[in-house]
Amino acid sequence: MTRRTWSVAVAGATGVVGEEILAMLDQRDFPVGSLRLMASARSAGKQVRWRDHDVVVEDLATADFHGVDFAFFSAGSAQAAHARRAAEAGATVIDNSSAFREDPSIPLVVPQVNPHDLDGLRVPGDRPRPGLVANPNCSTILFVMAVAPLERHAKIERAVVSTYQAVSGSGAKALDELARQGEQERTGQPLEAAVYPKPIHGNVLPFVQAFTDDGTTTEERKLVRESRRLLGRPDLRLTATCVRVPVRRAHSEAVNLVLERPVTPEQARAWIAAAPGVRLVDDPATLAFPTPRDADGQDDVLVGRVRRDPSHERGLDLWLTGDQVRKGAAQNAIEIAEELLRG
C-alpha cells in the first residue's frame, strides 16, 4: 500500500529553526509529498537543497497557501498575519513565534505533556483540520519536559528556574556575532555588539529578549505563563531568571522545586527516567551530568544533578539541558504534526 503524503510548507526556511525543520522532516521521514519554502524578499529566488532536489524559496509576503496541508512557520511574530492567512487558506499551521501562545482559542502544545489540547484539530484517519497551533517558547518546552513527570506524580507547589540560554536561540545573526567577537578578541580589536546590548563572547547576560515594565524580561514572562498553560496549572507558583551564555547551541536550566509531598531523589529519578523524550544522565560517582555539548543534536532533554534541597523538606533540585533548536523548536513542531496525524 502506498503511504499517504502531504503538501508541506516551511516559512522562515532560511533561518536557524527553518533549516532544522527541513533537516528533521527528512530525518524523521515525515510524509512529505511536496515541499514549498518561504522567507523574506531577500531570500526569494534562492535554491535550497532538500533530499535529492532543489527547492526555490518564495517571498512569504506573496505566497499562496491554497493546497498546503501543513505549514511550519518560523519567521517571527511579525509574520503572524501570514500564518493566519495560511490557516484561512486551509493549512494546519504550527507557528514557532510567540504571536499566538497566549490566545486561549489556539492550542499551545508539547505532545509528551498535553497532547489532548490538540483534540479540536484531530480528524481520525485523515489530515487534521485547518487551523493554528502555537509551538511553545524553547526554554519552556525543555522545562515542562523535565518537570511534567514530577507534576504528574507529586504536584509542584513552587518552582524557581534559572536558565543558561544558547546564542542560537537568537537566530543566525547572533551566532555570527558570537563568532565575530571571538575573532575580535583574538586580534585585539574592540568587541562590537549589535544583536545583544553587550558583548556575549566571554560574558553572560542576565537579560533575554526585552525588559517589561516590572523589571522581568519577556522571556521570563513566557516561561511562567506558558508553563502554567502546558501543565494545566494556572495557579502554579513559578519564577524565572533567564540568562544568555556564550554557548552556541542547547539551553540549560537549574530548577528548584517544592513538591506537595516529600519525594526522594531516587523516586524522582525513576519518574524522570520513565518519561518519554527525557533521558536521565545522573551519576556523581562517574561524573555523569549533562552539558549543552552533550545535548547538541539530540532529541531528548537530558536531566541530571537530581538531589534533595537541604533548605526544604519537600524540596528538590535538578539540572536539565536540551537542544532548543530541535526539541525547543523544530522537533516539537514536527512532533505536533505527527501527533495530529495519529488522529
Question: Using the rule CB under 6 A, is 331 a contact of ligand NAP?
Answer: no
Stretch that binds ligand NAP, among 39-47, 107-115, 184-192, 274-282 (CB under 6 A): 39-47
Beta-carbon contacts of residue 170 (< 8 Å; ≥ 6 apart)? 195, 196, 244
| C-beta of 59 vs 185, nearer to ligand NAP | 59
What is the largest distance, in Å, between two alpha-carbon atoms of the chain? 64
Stretch that binds ligand NAP, among 169-177, 197-205, 260-268, 303-311 (CB under 6 A): 169-177
Residue 168 gets which letter from DSSP?
A: G
Write down the residue that cell numbers 504536584 correspond to: 155
Annotation says 251 is catalytic:
yes
Question: Using the rule CB under 6 A, is 298 a contact of ligand NAP?
Answer: no
Residues 273/150, Cβ–Cβ less than 8 Å: no
Task: Kindly state the smallest distance separating residue 39's Cβ from ligand NAP, in Å.
Answer: 3
Task: Kindly state the smallest distance separating residue 135's Cβ from ligand NAP, in Å.
Answer: 7
| C-beta of 76 vs 107, nearer to ligand NAP | 76
Q: Which of 53, 116, 138, 201 is catalytic?
A: 138
| C-beta of 8 vs 60, nearer to ligand NAP | 60
Task: Kindly state the smallest distance separating residue 115's Cβ from ligand NAP, in Å.
Answer: 20
DSSP string of 169-180, one letter each residue: GG-HHHHHHHHH
Question: Using the rule CB under 6 A, is 96 a contact of ligand NAP?
Answer: yes
Question: Using the rule CB under 6 A, is 292 a contact of ligand NAP?
Answer: no
Question: Using the rule CB under 6 A, is 138 a contact of ligand NAP?
Answer: yes
Residues 99/85, Cβ–Cβ less than 8 Å: no
Question: Using the rule CB under 6 A, is 181 a contact of ligand NAP?
Answer: no
| Of 139, 120, 138, 117, residue with least CA distance to 130 | 120
**Bridge partners for 210 per DSSP:** none
Write down the residue that cell numbers 562517574 correspond to: 286
At residue 84, the 3 state secondary structure works out as: helix
| C-beta of 16 vs 224, nearer to ligand NAP | 16
Annotation says 242 is catalytic:
no
Residues 196/205, Cβ–Cβ less than 8 Å: yes
Question: Using the rule CB under 6 A, is 75 a contact of ligand NAP?
Answer: yes
**Bridge partners for 237 per DSSP:** 158
Number of residues binding to ligand NAP, judged by CB under 6 A = 28
Rounded to a whole number of angstroms, the CA Rg of the chain reads 20
φ/ψ (deg, to 5) at 225: -65, -45
Q: Which residues bind ligand NAP (CB under 6 A)?
A: 12-18, 39-40, 42-43, 60, 74-77, 79, 96-97, 138, 168-169, 171-172, 324-325, 328-329
Q: Which residues are part of the catalytic machinery?
A: 138, 251
